């Protein structure tokens, strides 16, 4: 914690606020994409994409899960999606899963999560749609089939939001599925054929 605190204290000296780039951020944000990914500390959207401050609007949670539209109760995910589209006007949404995901690993192994009731309730959202993948995926600690299957399912969940459907139907929104390999740095993109492929540099 001390190292993080020290870097926070010196942030102002490490960044050129006089250049105007950071000062402009106070005038508003105009992100190009809503980036939905896992809370995992190894997955850093700005590092992966090279995004500058203000370029991506992030939604992060355990397992990059998008609750289906209309679930009862308040939802930070629903609020973030709605705000990104209706207020910020983003035209692209990326759902990015990753290798070695703890949430997907817990689903695959069928861990007893009774000691983590919040985690258990959260993962129950993703479990039904992943059942077939969980049953057939090999026991690979990187979990590519499970994580990629989850990305596909979360893209489908996004389409359950009226604000997403309206923009898709009018050509004002594009959805993207990514899979990030933690140990190699490769980013796989879901193509029109439904498979995830590494994009050539």
Per-residue CA distances from 61 to 28, 84, 97, 166 (Å): 25, 16, 11, 25
| Rounded distance between C-alpha atoms, residue 190 and residue 177, angstroms | 5
Residue 96 β-bridge partners: 37, 178
Asked whether the beta carbons of 143 and 101 are under 8 A apart, the reply is: yes
| Rounded distance between C-alpha atoms, residue 140 and residue 64, angstroms | 20
Tell whether residue 101 is among the known ligand binding residues.
yes
Estimate to the nearest angstrom the gap between the alpha carbon of 92 and the chain centroid.
13
Tell whether residue 38 is among the known ligand binding residues.
yes
**Both structure tokens of 199:** 């994009």
Which residues define the annotated binding site? 38, 40, 98, 101
Which residues define the annotated binding site for Zn(2+)? 38, 40, 98, 101
């Amino acid at each position: 914690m001390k190292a993080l605190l020290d870097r926070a204290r010196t942030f102002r000296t490490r960044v050129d606020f006089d250049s105007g780039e950071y000062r402009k951020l106070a005038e508003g944000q105009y992100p190009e994409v809503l980036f939905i990914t896992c809370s995992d500390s190894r997955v850093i959207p700005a590092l992966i994409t090279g995004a500058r401050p203000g370029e991506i609007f992030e939604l992060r949670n355990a397992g990059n899960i998008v609750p289906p539209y209309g679930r009862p109760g308040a939802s930070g995910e629903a609020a973030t999606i709605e705000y990104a589209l209706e207020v910020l006007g983003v035209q692209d949404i990326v759902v990015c899963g990753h290798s070695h995901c703890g949430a997907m690993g817990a689903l695959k192994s069928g861990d007893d999560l009774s000691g983590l009731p919040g985690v258990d309730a959260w993962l129950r959202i993703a479990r039904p749609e992943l059942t077939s993948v969980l049953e057939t995926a090999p026991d690979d600690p990187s979990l590519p089939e499970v994580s990629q299957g989850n990305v596909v399912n979360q893209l489908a969940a996004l389409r359950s939001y009226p604000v997403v459907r309206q923009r898709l139907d009018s050509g004002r929104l594009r959805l993207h599925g990514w899979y990030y390999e933690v140990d190699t740095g490769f980013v796989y993109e879901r193509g029109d054929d439904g498979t995830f492929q590494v994009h050539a540099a």
